[in-house]
C-alpha cells in the first residue's frame, strides 16, 4: 500500500451556543449540543506526509514543534486514521499553518484538527464522508467536529458511550444568511489555562454547571428558531445570553477562569449601544479576551470603525461566513 502527501484547509468556527464541559474527556463527548458558524479565510492549512522512515509522528505548527498534550491529541487522531487504513504502522510528518493566533481562545485547535482529519484520511487513502471526518476530528478537539462543515453547523452531543452519534451536521450552507463577522483581537499572549483543562475544572467546581447544561438545551432551540427566521434580534438575544452564561460559569469556577480584559468589556458595551441605535450586530466570546461580532451587511463598516477605536483592541479582522474543510491540491 502506498501513501501520499495530502493537504487540507479547515475554517475556524465561532460557537453561538457554546460547548463547555465533557461527559467523556477521552472521546471529547460533550454534556450539551452546540451550534456554530464557520468563518471564511481564517483557519488552518495542514499537510500530512506519511513516511516509512519515521518512528513517531512529528508535527510543526507555524514553525514550532508540537509536543506534550497537543502531540498526544494528534497521535490519537492519527492512530484512528491508521486503523481505518488497515492498521498500518506508517507514521507521518505533519506541518500546519494557522491564520489565527494559536491558543488565544479563537478556536485554532478546531480548524487544526478538522484539517488534520481531512488531510490525514486523504494521505492514508481512507475514504471518509463529512460525518466520519467530524467524528475523527472530534477526538482531537471537541469543537473540531464543527469545523469539518461549512456554514451553520450543529454538533449533536449524542447519547452513546462510544460517541458514534456525537457528530457535526450542517444546518445551512454559508450563503443561507450572509452575515459578516468581525474579530476584535485583544492580545494577552498565550492562554494560561487550556480550554480542555478549564472546562474540566468548571464541571467539577462551578456551582452553576448543572444550570449551564440545562440552559444550553433551551438556547439551542431558540438559536435554531432565530436562524430559521433569519431574525438577527432574536439571534442576538440568545447568542449573547449563552455567551454570558458560559463566562459566568467560568468566573464561578474555582480557581476562577477570567478570560476578559478591559477591552473585552468595552466591545460588549459598544455592540449593545450600536444595536440600540439600530445597527445589526451581536457579540460572542470564547475562552479568551477577543470578541467576535456578527453584523448585518449594512452595519459592518460602522460597527468595525467603532470597535476598532476601542483602546486595547489591537486590530479588527473582517470576514464572512464560509465553507468547510476541503483538500488543497498541491498545498
28 binds ligand 2P0 (CB under 6 A): yes
Near ligand 2P0 by CB under 6 A, which window of 18-26, 37-45, 183-191, 207-215? 18-26
Applying CB under 6 A, among 141, 170, 242, 299 the residue interacting with ligand 2P0 is 141
User: Cβ(223)–Cβ(18) under 8 Å?
Assistant: no
CA 177 to chain centre: 20
User: Cβ(199)–Cβ(22) under 8 Å?
Assistant: yes
CB of 269 to ligand 2P0, least distance (A): 21
Nearer to ligand 2P0, 280 or 286 (CB): 286
Give the start-end residues of each E strand in the chain. Answer: 6-17, 22-24, 29-30, 34-51, 58-61, 64-65, 91-98, 152-155, 168-172, 180-185, 281-284, 291-295, 315-320, 326-327
CB of 317 to ligand 2P0, least distance (A): 17
Nearer to ligand 2P0, 286 or 306 (CB): 286
Near ligand 2P0 by CB under 6 A, which window of 14-22, 60-68, 297-305, 315-323? 14-22
Near ligand 2P0 by CB under 6 A, which window of 16-24, 57-65, 260-268, 302-310? 16-24
CB of 219 to ligand 2P0, least distance (A): 12
Place of cell 468547510: 324
Compute the distance between CA of residue 271 and CA of residue 316 in angstroms, rounded to an integer. 14
Question: Judged by CB under 6 A, how many residues of this single chain contact ligand 2P0?
Answer: 16
Nearer to ligand 2P0, 49 or 252 (CB): 252
Q: What is the DSSP string of 198-227?
A: HHHHHHHH-TTHHHHHHHHHHHHHHHHHHH
Q: Where in 189-218 is the site for ligand 2P0 (CB under 6 A)?
A: 195-196
Q: Which of 114, 246, 228, 99 is nearest to 172 (CA)?
A: 228
Near ligand 2P0 by CB under 6 A, which window of 139-147, 203-211, 275-283, 320-328? 139-147
> Based on the number of CB atoms within 10 Å of its own CB, is 331 exposed (0-12), middle (13-18) or buried (19 or more)?
middle
284 binds ligand 2P0 (CB under 6 A): no
Applying CB under 6 A, among 38, 84, 107, 266 the residue interacting with ligand 2P0 is 107
Compute the distance between CA of residue 225 and CA of residue 315 in angstroms, rounded to an integer. 33
Nearer to ligand 2P0, 110 or 128 (CB): 110
Residue 267, preceding bond cis, omega within 30 degrees? no
Nearer to ligand 2P0, 85 or 257 (CB): 257
User: Cβ(239)–Cβ(224) under 8 Å?
Assistant: no
CB of 288 to ligand 2P0, least distance (A): 8
CA 76 to chain centre: 19
> Based on the number of CB atoms within 10 Å of its own CB, is 328 exposed (0-12), middle (13-18) or buried (19 or more)?
middle
286 binds ligand 2P0 (CB under 6 A): yes
Applying CB under 6 A, among 43, 70, 96, 142 the residue interacting with ligand 2P0 is 142
Residues engaged in binding ligand 2P0 (CB under 6 A): 15, 18-20, 28, 34, 107, 109-110, 141-143, 195-196, 286-287
Amino acid at each position: 500500500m502506498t501513501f501520499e502527501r495530502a493537504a487540507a484547509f479547515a475554517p475556524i468556527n465561532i460557537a453561538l451556543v457554546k460547548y463547555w464541559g465533557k461527559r467523556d474527556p477521552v472521546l471529547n463527548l460533550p454534556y450539551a449540543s452546540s451550534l456554530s458558524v464557520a468563518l471564511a479565510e481564517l483557519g488552518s492549512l495542514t499537510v500530512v506526509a506519511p513516511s516509512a522512515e519515521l518512528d513517531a509522528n512529528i508535527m510543526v505548527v507555524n514553525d514550532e514543534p508540537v509536543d506534550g498534550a497537543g502531540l498526544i491529541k494528534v497521535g490519537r487522531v492519527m492512530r484512528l486514521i491508521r486503523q481505518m487504513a488497515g492498521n498500518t504502522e506508517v507514521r507521518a510528518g505533519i506541518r500546519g499553518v494557522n491564520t489565527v493566533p494559536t491558543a488565544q481562545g479563537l478556536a485554532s485547535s478546531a480548524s487544526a484538527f478538522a484539517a488534520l482529519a481531512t488531510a490525514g484520511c486523504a494521505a492514508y487513502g481512507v475514504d471518509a464522508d463529512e460525518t466520519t471526518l467530524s467524528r475523527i476530528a472530534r477526538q482531537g478537539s471537541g469543537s473540531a467536529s464543527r469545523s469539518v462543515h461549512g456554514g451553520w453547523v450543529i454538533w449533536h452531543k449524542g447519547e452513546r458511550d462510544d460517541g458514534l452519534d456525537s457528530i457535526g451536521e450542517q444546518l445551512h450552507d454559508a450563503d443561507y444568511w450572509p452575515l459578516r463577522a468581525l474579530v476584535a483581537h485583544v492580545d494577552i499572549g498565550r492562554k494560561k489555562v487550556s480550554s480542555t483543562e478549564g472546562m474540566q475544572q468548571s464541571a467539577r467546581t462551578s456551582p452553576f454547571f448543572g444550570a449551564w447544561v440545562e440552559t444550553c438545551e433551551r438556547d439551542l432551540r431558540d438559536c435554531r428558531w432565530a436562524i430559521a427566521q433569519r431574525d438577527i434580534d432574536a439571534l442576538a438575544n440568545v447568542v449573547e445570553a449563552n455567551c454570558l452564561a458560559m463566562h459566568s460559569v467560568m468566573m464561578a469556577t474555582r480557581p476562577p477562569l477570567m478570560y476578559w480584559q478591559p477591552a473585552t468589556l468595552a466591545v460588549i458595551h459598544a455592540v449593545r449601544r450600536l444595536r440600540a441605535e439600530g445597527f445589526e450586530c451581536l457579540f460572542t466570546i470564547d475562552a479568551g479576551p477577543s470578541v467576535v461580532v456578527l453584523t448585518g451587511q449594512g452595519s459592518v463598516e460602522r460597527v468595525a470603525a467603532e470597535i476598532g477605536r476601542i483602546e486595547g483592541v489591537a486590530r479588527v479582522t473582517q470576514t464572512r461566513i464560509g465553507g468547510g474543510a476541503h483538500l488543497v491540491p498541491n498545498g
